[in-house]
């Protein structure tokens, strides 16, 4: 099931939660309007809202996190299954774990030191920053700048999708080339698939897999 379809189901489920009452501690948490939070050290199942942010406190656990218009924040040492939003940033604190993947359409993705993501990380518009973080299922974007700092590791490669074919974004605006920066001590495993031109900045001595598709403009970090 694609993400927009899941958002419709989230909306329907959230309305039903309003109709039938809030879930007890350790169960699902769902709202239509307003932010939702799992307190530090607590456990929940699926956590969702339509208009509002989703936060999982330090050392807490949860299953799927979903919102439509709002940010997702996973604080340090928390463990969740997945995180998804349409319009909002996703921030994962130090030492936290996302066992599956992270997805946003319009928003930044920031992974702090020691973060582990088992699946992929994807967006359309917004930057990606990995600070000594590990992603097991690759990075996928259309317009994001991607920065991998020292100690970061990406398995599954990096996939930059093409725009609508005329050099413009899905919203009709001219877009600069995405910038991919790989700093000293960062590792990319798996293919680099570029369906559009990108600017690739590599620290001296950094090696990356062969590029499939459009060859990037290459630069050396000073």
- Cα dihedral 2, 166, 192, 91 sign: negative
Q: 57-70 pLDDT, tens per residue? A: 999 999 999 999 99
With respect to residue 97, please indicate whether it lies within any of the assigned structural domains: no
Burial group, residue 150, by CB count within 10 angstroms (0-12, 13-18, 19+)? exposed
Compute the average pLDDT of residues 31-38.
Answer: 95
With respect to residue 188, please indicate whether it lies within any of the assigned structural domains: yes
With respect to residue 69, please indicate whether it lies within any of the assigned structural domains: no
Q: What are φ and ψ of residue 66, in 5° steps?
A: -145, 140
With respect to residue 88, please indicate whether it lies within any of the assigned structural domains: no
Mean pLDDT comparison of 18-22, 58-62, 165-169, highest-scoring range: 58-62
- The span from the CA of 89 to the CA of 104, in Å, is 7
- The span from the CA of 55 to the CA of 178, in Å, is 29
With respect to residue 152, please indicate whether it lies within any of the assigned structural domains: yes
With respect to residue 3, please indicate whether it lies within any of the assigned structural domains: no
- Token pair of 70 as six digits: 């709002």
With respect to residue 187, please indicate whether it lies within any of the assigned structural domains: yes
Other Cβ atoms within 10 Å of 69 Cβ, number: 15
Residue 106 pLDDT: 97
Compute the average pLDDT of residues 50-78.
Answer: 98
**Domain of residue 206, residue span:** 108-220
Domain tally, the chain: 1
């Amino acid at each position: 099931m694609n993400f927009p379809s899941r958002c419709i189901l989230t909306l329907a489920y959230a309305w039903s939660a309003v109709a039938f009452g809030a879930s007890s501690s350790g169960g699902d948490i769902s709202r239509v309007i307003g932010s939702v939070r799992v307190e530090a050290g607590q456990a929940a199942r699926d956590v969702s809202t339509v208009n509002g942010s989703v936060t999982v406190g330090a050392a807490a656990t949860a299953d799927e996190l979903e919102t439509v218009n709002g940010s997702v924040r996973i604080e340090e040492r928390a463990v969740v299954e997945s995180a998804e939003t349409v319009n909002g940033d996703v921030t994962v604190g130090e030492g936290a774990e996302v066992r599956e993947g992270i997805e946003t359409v319009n928003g930044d993705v920031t992974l702090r030191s020691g973060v582990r993501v088992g699946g992929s990380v994807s967006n359309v518009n917004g930057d990606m920053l990995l600070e000594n973080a590990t992603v097991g299922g690759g990075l996928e974007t259309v317009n994001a700048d991607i920065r991998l700092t020292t100690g970061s590791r990406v398995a599954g490669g990096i996939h930059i999708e093409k725009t609508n074919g005329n050099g413009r974004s899905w919203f009709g605006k001219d877009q600069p080339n995405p910038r991919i920066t790989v700093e000293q001590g960062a590792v990319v495993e798996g293919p680099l698939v570029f369906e559009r031109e990108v600017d690739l900045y590599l620290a001296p001595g950094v090696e990356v897999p062969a590029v499939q598709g459009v060859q990037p403009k290459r630069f050396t970090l000073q």
